[in-house]
Structure 1
């Protein structure tokens, strides 16, 4: 028997006297971003020297990703009584991810062919060298990629930078606990306690966000500067506009038709997470809060637990648009524009390559360079052209990927009837606000595991 969204209780009220102080944190992030831009423009060398602050904060967040994914998936699958339901959710999710990746590629293809932003540019030897330097050995061939998902040991899945290894171990553990039935309930409760601890640690780490945002923004502005961006303004603007239209027109239309949800309302609900991504240029920094907020929104824990972690590896809409437009830009810049017959095979190859680099730090640029090296080596020389602005474009990539995964979870919850639509309306209207202290106290996602006692399990409305 599945645990549906209707069984998800509203969050308990915060203890008397407790105040939400997290809004001060996000005000501090905004101030830190403004200060970082100022330092990067006034003292570029000092700004570049501050880069370790941003890197350190993102690394702290990445440190938490594996335990969060493990706990979320184990609790999501373990609390489902029918294994077939997990297969249905996973199958729908993967099918949707593939379709939307192709749609994103097609949109990027159209915009790139209309703008031709790389026409008339010239390359230097230094730029060519920078392009070849971006070819990453982490982007594996398909067979090696599949084998790399299997960890050396059960524990090593948590000590490497391979998120998909954690995903595999969590899936196995979740199905094992599901098969154990009532004997596995104590383990599920234990995992719930571990998740509560993880979110408590995360809430402590988040207070370092202003420092990380200050260092990251100062470094990128100090290294690129204003003049370095002018020659690439058309590409950047075209990319940002394309991502905006993809989220608010394409995804917005699908979300409205399928789920009856306004994408503007959903993005407003996730505004703090979007600000965090904008300041850190990493969608991973908002992963824990996305999981918690989608559960609060009314999507069932199994759907959130399966769709969100899987989407972070396979639903990279922003990355698809980026690789399409960047490939066409590079081809034009090299004076070798590709015909449509050449573009489509290259982009389909990059579609597969992007999955092979899932979880790799800086996967956008590394995957682009690695894919071009494998499929069309002559274009690698041009990757150096976009190295200087990749950090700015990575923000749009991360925001689009995040929005795509949020929309996907709501859609899959609707298709599988694992969403409480009345609760969605209440939450998005502001009548049932998310408790911003939820990730750090006893009412957080750690309490999300509802393991019904034998004979008292709530029947879903559509059972």
Structure 2
């Protein structure tokens, strides 16, 4: 009888798993949760650590988006295609976010998350909402579109206004196309090389991702613990359940329209999604998700235009939350909204949700504007959501990010520029022979088959 030990299953490499960014972030999350539970007084300190990581990422987002969009447009050389991509993206964003709002209302009416609210009826303190929103306000439709135009080119980068940077990038890329690449080779080469340098900086920053995940988990558990689950359990279940159903719909749409698997994409980008969950911010992974989408067959021109625009126009998870939260407030204070009032609420939320990106407490501002327009729910009822809002971050972040990634694939397919074979190869961890297997951090890319086979 042979005594030779059996080899591990094909494709499973423990050493590769231990080296993977995904494993590091998950381990950091677990350790952070333990520290937060045992040492809750440290929550504020850990929050500062997590905020420091987010600031490092945000400092490179604007120049990176500018460089990627400029080079994508200049290399494509087709301004009509750029216009089509932008228009198709906006149409898709509007249709899906409106559907998400309506879907949230449907779930809220069926589940009744605010009926018999376990937390009772606390004093409706509008001042608490003002403190949460830091006296900010939503810009309104006209103000939102005017705010896309920067006061100065430098100001767009200094204030980290992503849509303003995107507008400058589109104009700059269009100008290079009109002037001619042969007449402006130095400009195009400079922007292209700057993008490589910025991606390398992103790689340096991403080495701190496990630290940020640890700090974020410690802050969340230390600050909130699990006590909020008892009072807001029904609301949390409604939001997360509806988000899961919505993601399943996105998976079907992606399969039907592109032939690609959303599950395979999630496995391919698992490290980025885990970090987004850990930091409660989709901005923290924008540079890496752009790299992953480009590696999965989406060209620079599509990725550079659709993904950053979606961060402002395509907030599917936030839309679901806003609808359910509105019904939760009304039900908690004993107000029965009619179908007409709910239709008005959808129209208001369609407008207010577009100006939410980058504004502290934007969900509370949007909800405040909506209940003000309805005239039947006390504005102070928004304060009922203060204790539960942070618990919704995972749902919002993952659904927002998935919606934007699916939109990028779909728009690329509509334009006929999606390389589906490259996407399937990337999902399986098979990189093209001519392309070195190096990720954005400048380290050997982890073999995706290690966890999928």
Q: Same fold (TM over 0.5)?
A: yes
Matched, 1:63 2:59: yes
Partner of 2:282: 283
Q: 1:420 to 1:366 in 2, by over 3 A?
A: same
- 1:229 and 2:236 aligned: no
TM-score scaled by length of structure 1: 0.86
Deviation at 1:205, TM superposition (A): 1.0
Deviates more, 1:205-214 or 1:409-418: 205-214
Post-superposition CA distance 1:317-367 (Å, at most 9, x none): 111101111111111112113111101211221121111222324533443
Show the counterpart of 2:387: 388
CA contact (8 A) 1:66 1:166 kept: yes
- CA distance in 1 between counterparts of 2:417 and 2:439 reads 22
The aligned counterpart of 1:306 is 305
Task: Assess if the C-alpha contact under 8 Å between 1:240 and 1:396 holds in 2.
Answer: yes
Alignment match of 2:78 (pick from 75, 82, 88): 82
How far residue 188 of structure 1 moved from its aligned partner, in angstroms, is 1.5
Asked if structure 1 preserves the Cα contact closer than 8 Å seen for 2:273 and 2:398, the reply is: yes
Return the offset for 1:440: 3.6
Does residue 1:103 correspond to 2:99, yes or no?
Answer: yes
Query: 2:18, 2:287 → 1: CA distance?
Result: 15
CA RMSD of aligned residues (A): 2.4
Residue matched to 2:440: 439
Following the alignment from structure 1 to structure 2, what is the Cα–Cα distance between the partners of residues 22 and 77? 39
Say if 1:435 and 1:280 are closer, same or farther in 2 by CA, change over 3 A: farther
* Pairs within 5 Å for 1:85-164: 85-121=81-117, 122-125=120-123, 127-135=125-133, 136-164=135-163
Partners of 1:92 and 1:412 within 8 A in 2: yes
- TM-score between both structures, scaled by the size of structure 2: 0.88
Aligned runs of 1:291-302 on 2, under 5 Å? 291-302=290-301
TM-fit CA distance, 1:375 = 5.7
Gaps of at least 5 residues in structure 1 are 1-18, 445-463
Instruction: Find the aligned partners of 2:158 and 2:190 in 1 and give their Cα distance.
Output: 21
Distance 1:154 1:228 in 2: 45
Gaps of 5+ in 2: 1-14, 446-453
Q: 1:309 and 1:185 mapped to 2: Cα distance?
A: 26
CA drift of 1:396 comes to 1.1
- Match of residue 320 from structure 1: 319
In the alignment, which of 12, 31, 35 is matched to residue 27 of structure 2? 31
Give the 3 Å change call, closer, same or farther, for CA 116–253 of structure 1 in structure 2.
Answer: same
What is the CA–CA distance in structure 2 between the aligned matches of 1:422 and 1:82, rounded to whole Å? 24
Q: Distance in 1 between matches of 2:437 and 2:112?
A: 44
| Alignment correspondent of 1:447 | none
Aligned pair count reads 425
Q: Tell me whether 428-437 or 343-352 shows the greater mean CA deviation.
A: 428-437
How far the C-alpha of 1:280 sits from its partner, in A, is 0.5
Deviation at 1:435, TM superposition (A): 6.7
1:48–1:220: 8 Å Cα contact kept in structure 2?
Answer: no
CA contact (8 A) 2:156 2:165 kept: yes
| Equivalent residue number for residue 263 of structure 2 | 264
Q: Deviations over 1:371-400 (max 9, x none)?
A: 445665844312222222212211110111
Say whether the 8 Å CA contact 1:162–1:360 is kept in structure 2: no
The offset of 1:198, in angstroms, is 0.9
Instruction: Quote the residue 1:368 is aligned against.
Output: 367
Do 1:199 and 1:439's aligned partners in 2 also have CA atoms closer than 8 Å?
Answer: yes
1:174-185 equivalence runs, <5 A: 174-181=173-180, 182-185=182-185
**Shift in Å, 1:436:** 6.9
Q: Does the CA contact (< 8 Å) of 2:22 and 2:270 recur in 1? A: no
Query: Could you list the per-position Cα deviations for residues 102-137 of structure 1 after superposition, in whole angstroms to 9, with x for gaps in the alignment?
Result: 111121111111111111233323755423434552
Q: 1:67 to 1:365 in 2, by over 3 A?
A: farther
Determine the structure 2 residue equivalent to 1:450.
none
Any idea what the Cα deviations from partners look like across 1:412-443, whole Å, max 9, x if unmatched?
11111011122222222333389774314499
Q: Provide the C-alpha distance between the structure 2 equivalents of 1:439 and 1:254, rounded to a whole number of angstroms.
A: 29
